[in-house]
Structure 1
Amino acid sequence: GFAAAISLLARDRGGPALAGQLLLCPMIDNTNTTVSSLQYAGIGTWTREANLLAWECVLGDELAFSAEAPAYAAPTRADDLSDLPHAYIEVGAAEPFRDEDVEYASRIWAVGGAAELHVWSGGFHGFDMYAPASELTRAALDARFSWLRRVLGL
């Protein structure tokens, strides 16, 4: 989620200009209230419990799950997602971040922004590292590199 946070910060400070934001299974919603956040308690490579601990480490006990958390740490807290660089958002369909990442893309689209969203059926958190030779990983890498070539004009 730090790439999303940096995109917000760069926009708010008037630069530097960013070509895009490559968001791979980003952890961006500290409230942990989505359906997918609740579905993966105790199962998977990144569990609900791991996510809760991660937010406590990032934000501390007081703000870990609060809607008052700063948007530069928890990008879904941002009220305004306009004028962000083109986003590539990728997430597995079988992981806690699925719903928050889909919502983030939807919010970018709602303000006229550009986002390319991939929800990989059968994908779990880190599938590309755990199954690097799988067809799913090959498809994900093809999509990522295609987006990068387009955004960078290569």
Structure 2
Amino acid sequence: MPFPPGITVHPELAAYLEDLPPYSDPFRDIAATRERFRQLLAATPADRTGVRSRRYDIPREDGSALAVEVYRPDGAEGSYRGGALPAVLHFHGGGYALGRPLPGQDKTALDLCRALPAVIVSVEYRLAPEHRYPAGVEDCYRALEWTAAQAAGLGIDAGRIAVTGNSAGGGLSAAVALMSRDRGGPALAYQSMCVPDVDDRVAGEPLPAEAEDVPGPWVNSLRTMRRTWQHYLPEGAAADAYAAAARAEDLTGLPPAYVLVCDLDPLRDPGLAYARRLMDAGVQVTVRNVPGAWHGFELHAPGTRLAREMTAHWTGHLRAALYPCPAAD
């Protein structure tokens, strides 16, 4: 598969390139795209060993309900603060339009539940284009408020609540952190953002027609990002800070952050720029760049050392944030 000049793929990933499909607009038939994703999930059931879960319906103001699935490790107890566990709200990726896990089958939530350990709240936020911004992010913030209010009953330490997400989920994590700060909401201990989609300006001006027609090797291309934002934002509306966190003018007072980017991802530079702005605002930030990797590479090459190291890195930093070492005497 040819690459533009200057593109270098990690040697461990080169063999996986031929398996990557050509570009296909997921929004051309979003219902069909979601159904293919559902079938893929159903074909590979998640490992629920050592974890139990329960679904809850959180009422919205219009009378509808937001569904969340709460995962808890069997027999796990917190190491301090009365035995309560930390909590992590997980916002799935999928371009704000798909990616919803099957009930009880959120693989990221299950893995985090066992690895941290922690109570993981998987949020089934409303999806675009049927529900454009701000529906999805308001659902995510509502889930945060509910989790904090229900902390005692869920066995959660309200002082150790974090948000995390990949791609669109990373963008939602950044937005929820801003919303909680601005609205005086529940305090977050950490925001963990993997390949976050934080800037609607990433795609820039439309590409030349000949470039648009060339299949690229990346699951996430500039064409994909352009269509994502076209379908997420209300027609004719400009993004604000809760739609695209990079548009926020003030980043002070936000929780410590983790930002992971991939070399061959169009979201790399906006992610790095956001991380730098967080640092400049006095926020503690850990940054990790995965060399020679594209957006979502771990889905195609989960057994590679690069994918395992990436997962261990971001989960390890999330664990350290939620289980900090006690202060020395």
Is the TM-score greater than 0.5? Answer: yes
Say if 2:255 is the partner of 1:46.
no
Distance 1:88 1:29 in 2: 17
Runs of 5+ consecutive residues of structure 1 not aligned to the other structure: none
CA-to-aligned-CA distance 1:30-51 (integer Å, 9 cap, x gap): 01257xxx8x965211111110
Runs of 5+ consecutive residues of structure 2 not aligned to the other structure: 1-170, 325-329
Whose strand fraction is larger, Structure 1's or Structure 2's?
2
1:57 to 228, 231, 234: 231
Q: Identity of counterpart residues, as a percentage?
A: 35
2:273 to 88, 103, 109: 103
1:9 corresponds in structure 2 to 179
TM-score between the two structures when normalised by the length of structure 2 = 0.42
CA-to-aligned-CA distance 1:58-81 (integer Å, 9 cap, x gap): 113313xx4xx2100110000011
Indicate the structure whose relative CO is greater, using CA pairs within 8 Å and at least 6 residues apart: 1
Moved more, 94-103 or 13-22: 13-22
Distance 2:275 2:314 in 1: 16
- Write out aligned runs for 1:119-134 (5 A): 119-134=289-304
2:190 to 20, 26, 36: 20
Distance 2:261 2:311 in 1: 12
4+ residue segments displaced more than 3 Å: none
Distance 2:288 2:243 in 1: 23
Conserved? CA contact 1:91–1:123, under 8 Å: no
Flag the structure with larger Rg: 2
2:260 corresponds in structure 1 to 90
1:81 corresponds in structure 2 to 251
3-state SS in 2 of match to 1:15: coil
2:320 to 135, 150, 153: 150
Whose helix fraction is larger, Structure 1's or Structure 2's?
1
Say if 2:287 is the partner of 1:117.
yes
TM-score between the two structures when normalised by the length of structure 1 = 0.88
Amino acid at match of 1:100: P
Distance 1:48 1:78 in 2: 22
